[in-house]
């Protein structure tokens, strides 16, 4: 299926009528609570709020009538993380959402061998955008986890992201491996690696998608530009996923889409035992809500 916007993804979730249990770590954060309670109200998720019970009860009051929710009391941050991990292993939580906790502290618990939330896969981050000037949802990776991926890591990022998109219901995922040029240039490593990924896709080593690269941003998202330049590819003007060469490129791109193009966004970490919604504490309620929608859209076992 091609999703033109988040509303279509939300409608699919509601039709499926399967609520995902989302464990909110240190849940006494207003934007996060508002977002997860909205997701509960819309029949998308069941909130499990973990942390200081008194603070959570006070913070959730404005949204308490939205939906049913559960509070899991924890006396400290360490206990909050411990109880979150226990819920995951008990099969009582399908995703983790960051609340009022430092990202570094949450990630230490996620990557700890002792906690058993790693799967052996590379963990990577994906962001999905509803861009006003683009005709369907658009995914960007990786703006938050993998800093300077080599070809093998890029291969894993593609596998992670394409697997998640297909689990959500995306069909025929088209991947654009971005570069500043559209031909292989030995002096530009990103173009060489893009071509290598395309070749691996052609031999079936990276399945489940169609990879094009090197390809510039304009050709990936604008059909007219590709026609003018004579660039023929099923991905041209139809990209579902943009793979960036580095975290700097991806971070700049997602901020341009968010602040300049006024795109709506949501995202999470994939590659752990469950999706990890790792938005900034400064992120809007809307972004956190869409992140919960995306994580809830994954089929069981993804």
Which residue matches tokens 């076992």? 301
One domain for residues 89 and 44: yes
Whose tokens are 């330049």? That residue is 229
Co-location of 35 and 150 in the same domain:
no
CA 95 – CA 261 distance, rounded (Å): 29
265 inside domain? no
Residue 266 lies in a domain: no
Residue 225 CB-density burial (10 A; 0-12 exposed, 13-18 middle, 19+ buried): middle
- Share above pLDDT 90 across residues of the chain, in percent, rounded to a whole number: 93
pLDDT at 19: 84
Query: pLDDT tens for residues 252-271?
Result: 999 999 999 999 999 999 99
How is residue 222 annotated by DSSP? -
Residue 206: give its domain's CATH number. Answer: 3.40.718.10
pLDDT at residue 281 in the model: 67
Cβ proximity of 155 and 203 under 8 Å: no
Given this model, what pLDDT does residue 163 score? 96
The answer to whether residues 214 and 243 belong to one domain is yes
Task: Judge if 88 and 104 occupy the same domain.
Answer: yes
Residue 129 lies in a domain: yes
pLDDT at 294: 95
What is the per-residue pLDDT across 156-187, written as a single tens digit (0 to 9) for each?
999 999 999 999 999 999 999 999 999 999 99
203/83 same-domain check? no
Expressed as residue numbers, the domain containing 193 is 124-260
C-alpha span between 194 and 189 (Å, rounded): 8
- Residue 302 has a pLDDT of 47
pLDDT at position 300 over 80: no
Reported confidence tier of residue 301, pLDDT bands at 50, 70, 90:
very low
Same domain membership, residue 37 and residue 69: yes
pLDDT digits (tens, 9 = 90+) for 193-209: 999 999 999 999 999 99
Residues 24 and 137 in one domain: no
| Band of pLDDT at residue 1, cut at 50, 70 and 90 | confident
Q: Is residue 267 part of a domain?
A: no
Look at the chain and report how many structural domains it folds into. Answer: 2
Residue 80 domain flag: yes
101 domain residue, yes or no? yes
- Taking only the tens place, the pLDDT of each residue in 15-63 is 876 789 999 999 999 999 999 999 999 999 999 999 999 999 999 999 9
H-helix segments, the chain:
6-16, 30-41, 53-59, 77-89, 103-111, 151-168, 189-202, 217-221, 223-229, 247-255, 285-297
Domain containing residue 79: CATH number: 3.40.50.10950
Q: What is the pLDDT of residue 257?
A: 96
Residue 302: inside a domain: no
Same domain, 172 and 60: no
> Which segment of 17-21, 53-57, 101-105, 235-239 scores lowest on mean pLDDT?
17-21
Pairing mode of beta strands 264-270, 124-130? antiparallel
109/128 same-domain check: no
- The reply to whether 165 and 283 lie within a common domain is no
CA max distance for the chain = 63
Dihedral of the alpha carbons of 117, 20, 154, 98, in degrees to the nearest 10: -70
Q: If DSSP codes are grouped into helix, strand and coil, which group holds residue 154?
A: helix
- The answer to whether residues 152 and 52 belong to one domain is no
Q: Please check whether residues 248 and 289 belong to one and the same domain.
A: no
Answer yes or no: is pLDDT of 275 > 70: yes
Q: pLDDT band at 280, cuts 50/70/90? A: confident
Q: Which two tokens mark 97?
A: 């959402």
Q: Per the domain annotation, does 141 fall within a domain?
A: yes
Task: Give tens-digit pLDDT for 106-147.
Answer: 999 999 999 999 999 999 999 999 999 999 999 999 999 999
């Amino acid at each position: 299926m091609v999703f033109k916007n988040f509303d279509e993804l939300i409608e699919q979730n509601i039709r499926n009528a399967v609520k995902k249990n989302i464990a909110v770590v240190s849940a006494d954060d207003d934007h996060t609570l508002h977002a997860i309670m909205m997701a509960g109200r819309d029949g998308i998720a069941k909130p499990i709020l973990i942390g200081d019970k008194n603070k959570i009860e006070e913070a959730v009051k404005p949204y308490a009538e939205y939906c049913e929710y559960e509070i899991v009391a924890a006396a400290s941050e360490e206990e909050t993380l411990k109880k979150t991990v226990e819920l995951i292993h008990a099969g009582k939580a399908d995703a983790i959402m960051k609340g009022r906790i430092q990202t570094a502290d949450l990630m230490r618990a996620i990557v700890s061998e002792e906690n058993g939330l790693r799967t052996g896969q590379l963990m990577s981050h994906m962001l999905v955008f509803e861009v006003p000037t683009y005709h369907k949802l658009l995914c960007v990776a990786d703006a938050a986890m993998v800093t300077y991926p080599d070809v093998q890591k890029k291969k894993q990022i593609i596998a992670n992201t394409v697997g998640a998109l297909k689990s959500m219901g995306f069909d025929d995922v088209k991947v654009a491996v971005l570069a500043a040029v559209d031909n292989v240039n030995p002096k530009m490593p990103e173009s060489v690696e893009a071509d290598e990924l395309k070749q691996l896709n052609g031999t079936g080593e990276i399945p489940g998608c169609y990879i094009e690269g090197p390809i510039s941003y304009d050709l990936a998202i604008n059909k007219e530009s590709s026609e003018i330049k004579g660039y023929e590819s099923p991905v041209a003007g139809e990209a579902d996923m943009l793979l960036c060469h580095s975290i700097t490129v991806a971070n700049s791109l997602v901020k341009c889409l968010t602040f300049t193009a006024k795109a709506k966004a949501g995202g999470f970490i994939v590659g752990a035992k469950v999706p990890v919604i790792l938005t900034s504490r400064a992120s809007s309620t809307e972004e956190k809500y869409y992140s919960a929608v995306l994580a809830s859209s994954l089929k069981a076992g993804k």
